[in-house]
């Protein structure tokens, strides 16, 4: 069942669309956010929105782009998860499957870090990985398993063992990389984002 079926062709559609649209930024706020000249300007724009209370409260005094991005993502994940728990099963399944995109982003971050020299700087990687999606999906074990890998091949093996959707994509990446060493980290994005 596709997401279009649930959102456009059933009685659940208006409720799901309405729940998602209620969280949109207004056109003026979105324009102000896009035109913000600095991170401080962007933070000030977010302060006047629904994102302001939750997101900026968690940031505290330390504010950099990675933290802001991660907190906004966490807020979106919690909102989608909350909506998924309040709608009937077909729509809930579609919304939870959408959250898997955020888990795939975590896999890409870890794979790219391994390509650039490993997870020795785990503090910096942990700042980029979003734990909220794993908590909301009840899949924290996946993140725990893949944070302990040594290299991309080990990551692929762990993902294949967990039957994770990114496993075959990393397997293809390793095969292509061995035959064509000119392909770089950007191929990971393409292969993981490609629908299987």
- Residue found under tokens 């398993």: 145
* Domain boundaries, position 104: 3-193
**What is the reported pTM?**
0.68
CB 108 within 8 A of CB 95: no
More confidently predicted of 79 and 195: 79
Q: Tens digit of pLDDT for each residue in 106-143?
A: 899 898 888 877 655 545 566 778 888 888 888 888 88
**Residue 159: pLDDT above 90?**
yes
- Residue 109: left if φ>0, alpha if ψ -120 to 50, beta else—which one? alpha
Write 132-141 long-range contacts (CB < 8 A, 24+): 132/73, 132/74, 132/77, 132/78, 133/77, 133/99, 133/102, 133/103, 133/106, 134/103, 134/106, 136/77, 136/78, 136/81, 136/99, 137/81, 137/96, 137/99, 137/100, 137/103, 139/103
Q: Tens digit of pLDDT for each residue in 87-107?
A: 888 888 888 888 888 899 989
Least confident window among 53-62, 74-83, 105-114: 53-62
**Residue 7: pLDDT above 50?**
no
Q: Provide the domain count of the chain.
A: 1
The whole-number pLDDT of residue 158 equals: 94
Q: Which residues contact 166 (CB under 8 A, 6 or more apart)?
A: 104, 107, 108, 159, 192
The whole-number pLDDT of residue 24 equals: 66
């Amino acid at each position: 069942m596709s997401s279009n079926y649930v959102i456009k062709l059933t009685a659940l559609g208006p409720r799901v669309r309405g729940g998602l649209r209620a969280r949109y930024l207004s056109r003026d706020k979105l324009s102000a956010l896009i035109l913000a000249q600095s991170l401080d300007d962007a933070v000030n724009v977010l302060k006047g929105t629904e994102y302001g209370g939750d997101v900026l409260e968690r940031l505290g005094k330390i504010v950099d782009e990675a933290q802001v991005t991660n907190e906004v993502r966490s807020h979106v994940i919690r909102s989608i998860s909350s909506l998924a728990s309040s709608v009937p099963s077909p729509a809930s399944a579609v919304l939870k499957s959408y959250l898997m995109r955020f888990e795939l982003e975590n896999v890409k971050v870890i794979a790219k870090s391994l390509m650039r020299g490993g997870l020795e700087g785990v503090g910096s990687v942990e700042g980029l990985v979003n734990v909220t999606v794993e908590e909301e999906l009840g899949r924290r074990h996946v993140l725990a398993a893949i944070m302990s890998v040594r290299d991309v091949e080990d990551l692929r093996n762990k993902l294949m063992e967990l039957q994770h959707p990114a496993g075959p994509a990393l397997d293809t990446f390793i095969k292509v990389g061995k035959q064509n060493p000119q392909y770089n980290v950007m191929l990971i994005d393409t292969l993981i984002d490609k629908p299987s």
